Amino acid sequence: MSKALLLVDVINDFFSPNGANYYPAYDQVLAAVQNLVAVARKLSIPVIHARESHRPGPDFEWTKLPRHCMAGAWDTLPPAGLDARDEDVVVFKRRYSAFFATDLDLLLRERGVRTLVVAGVKSNVCVRATIQDAFALGYRIILPREATASNRAHLHAAALEDIDRYMGRVVSLAEAEHMLEVDE
C-alpha cells in the first residue's frame, strides 16, 4: 500500500465542545475527517491516529503550554464516532510532530507508504510540524483544506501557504478523496 491517511490530534480536547481547546470551526473539520476515513476504509488504505498523550512528570512541552492531554485521559480519546478500529494504528506523541520520537516513520516504511493524506488540527502547530517532518523524510503530502483548521485564522492561512509552497499540496476535500482512489 503506497498511501495512508494520517489523523493528527483528532481527539476530544479539540473536537468535543467540552474540550479545553475546542473551537467551533473544528466541527466542519471533523465532518471532513469522517469523510476521509470512510473513503480510506472503503479502499483498505491504512488509517493512522496520531494522538497527543503526555506522561506524568516533567514534560518539556509544558515550558510553553499548560499541562494537558495526560495519557489515558478523556481529552486524549477520539471524538464520538471516530474510534480506531483493529486494523487502524494509534501513535502516541508527546511533541507537536507525529514523527518526533515515535515509530511512525518505521511503521509507514514497513507498509510501503510513500504518500500521506494528512488531516487534523492545529494547522499551524501539530499539522504543520508533522508535515514538515514527513517532507524531510521523503513522503509526498496531501492536505485537504477542509480537513484542518486553527483557532487563529491568520496563522492557519500562513500554514496552508507554507505547506503548499514548500512541503506538499493543499487541495480540496474532493480532490483528496479522488487522490485516495487513484493508483499512483
E-only strand ranges, 122-156:
140-144, 148-149
- Give the Å distances, CA to CA, from 31 to 37, 52, 81, 100, 114: 10, 20, 11, 28, 26
- The model carries a pTM of 0.96
Can you give the pLDDT at residue 1?
A: 57
**Quick one: cell of 158?**
500562513
The answer to whether residues 79 and 12 touch, using CB atoms and an 8 Å cutoff, is yes
Helix (H, G, I), strand (E, B), or coil: what is residue 161? Answer: helix
Q: What confidence tens digit (pLDDT) does each residue in 50-85 have? A: 999 989 889 898 899 888 888 999 999 999 999 999
pLDDT of residue 62: 86
SS3 content of the chain, % helix, strand, coil (to 5): 40, 20, 40
CATH number, domain 3-181:
3.40.50.850
pLDDT, tens digit, 9 for 90 and up, residues 112-152: 999 999 999 999 999 999 999 999 999 999 999 999 999 99
Give residue-wise pLDDT tens across range 146-163.
999 999 999 999 999 999
